[in-house]
């Protein structure tokens, strides 16, 4: 898995980079098929904006958050991405696997 962090009109400090890596470790535990992750951090006047593009095996997730504090924006962004990853994982999970085994024994 490759994590790319870029910044527009903002310097990517080691603290921001470490925060993103630590928060993303929690997301990576939910889903093993993450192939590529791109973070874009930017400032626009008084707003801080964070975007994340996440490539999965058969899907792509895009999420965006904005606010006045970059650290709070990154927390909000990671929460949104986490919810989206869990939602995709639940969709791809086979919910009827155990029903087929039960039906087989009833015949």
Number of domains, the chain: 1
Phi, psi of 25 (to 5 degrees): -60, -35
Give the CATH number, domain containing residue 57.
Answer: 3.30.160.100
- The domain in which residue 6 lies consists of 2-106
Under 8 Å between Cβ of 51 and 73: no
Neighbour order of strands in the sheet with 47-56: 2-8, 34-44, 47-56, 60-67
Instruction: Give pTM, 2 decimals.
Output: 0.81
Q: Using one digit for the tens of pLDDT, what is the confidence trace for 50-99?
A: 999 998 888 899 999 999 999 999 999 999 999 998 888 888 776 666 65
The chain-wide mean pLDDT, for the chain, equals 86
């Amino acid at each position: 898995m490759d994590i790319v962090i870029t910044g527009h009109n903002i310097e990517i400090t080691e603290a921001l980079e470490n925060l993103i890596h630590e928060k993303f470790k929690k997301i990576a535990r939910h889903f093993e098929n993450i192939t590529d992750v791109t973070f874009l951090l930017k400032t626009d006047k008084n707003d801080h904006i964070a975007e994340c593009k996440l490539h999965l095996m058969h899907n792509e997730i895009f999420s965006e958050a904005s606010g006045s504090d970059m650290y709070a924006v990154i927390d909000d962004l990671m929460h949104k991405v986490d919810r989206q990853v869990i939602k995709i994982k639940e969709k791809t999970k086979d919910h009827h696997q155990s029903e087929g085994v039960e039906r087989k024994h009833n015949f």
